[in-house]
Amino acid sequence: MAERIPILKMGEFLLVTIQVDLHDQMAMRLQDDLTTTIERTGAKGVLIDISALEMVDSFIGRMIANISSISSVLDARTVVVGMQPPVAITLVELGLSLSGVQTALNVERGMEKLRESIAGEALHAGREG
């Protein structure tokens, strides 16, 4: 149970690439590790690359939704990138819509999406203040 999913810091973003078949404890641990890392680094955005995942069931889906909600409370945006089409089809049929979770087709577009949403918020905050 020692395996951990590495969390890389890239500027003000965190990048997580899931490359192994996750068992439930690993998913829970990733959720905890990410929360701690966002808090410690003050990261503004989290990119989760799931392009290597061949399956997302309700447990992993819930973990993704949780990470997105928790990071949002900690003032960081989450974008999930690279979901394989069969995984997306299965997830919807299973009944998980992952509403509230931002997605992008690949890491580059996900990064753009994060930058845009952070820039948009800064602009908005600037106008108000």
Partner 1 sequence: MPVVKADALPVRTERDVVTARQAVRRMAQELGFSLVDQTKMVTAASELARNTFVHGKGGDMQWEILHDGERRGLRLTFIDEGPGIANIQLAMTDGWTSGGGLGMGLSGSKRLVNEFDLQSTLGSGTRVTITRWKGGV
Positive or negative: CA dihedral 73, 74, 75, 78: negative
Contact region with partner 1 (CB under 8 A), list: 9-17, 79-87, 102-110, 121-129: 79-87
For residue 78, the minimal CB distance to partner 1 (Å) is 18
Least distance from partner 1 to the Cβ atom of residue 125, Å: 34
Q: Which of 50, 64, 96, 111 binds partner 1 (CB under 8 A)?
A: 96
Shortest CB 105 distance to partner 1, Å: 18
Query: Which residue in the set 47, 64, 76, 87 belongs to the binding site for partner 1 (CB under 8 A)?
Result: 87
Window 43 to 72, contacts with partner 1 (CB under 8 A): 54-59, 61-62
> Which two tokens mark 29?
């641990």
Q: Residue 8: how many CA atoms within 13 Å on its side-chain side?
A: 8
Rounded to whole angstroms, how far apart are CA atoms 112 and 24? 30
Residue type for 123, please? Answer: L
Q: Interface with partner 1 includes 80 (CB under 8 A)?
A: no
* Chain centroid offset of residue 14 CA: 9
Task: Report residue 88 CA to chain centroid gap.
Answer: 15
Cα distance between residue 106 and residue 47, in whole Å: 10
Q: Minimum distance between the CB of residue 24 and partner 1, rounded to whole angstroms? A: 5
Which residues of the shown chain bind partner 1 in the complex (CB under 8 A)? 21-25, 54-59, 61-62, 84-87, 89-91, 93-96
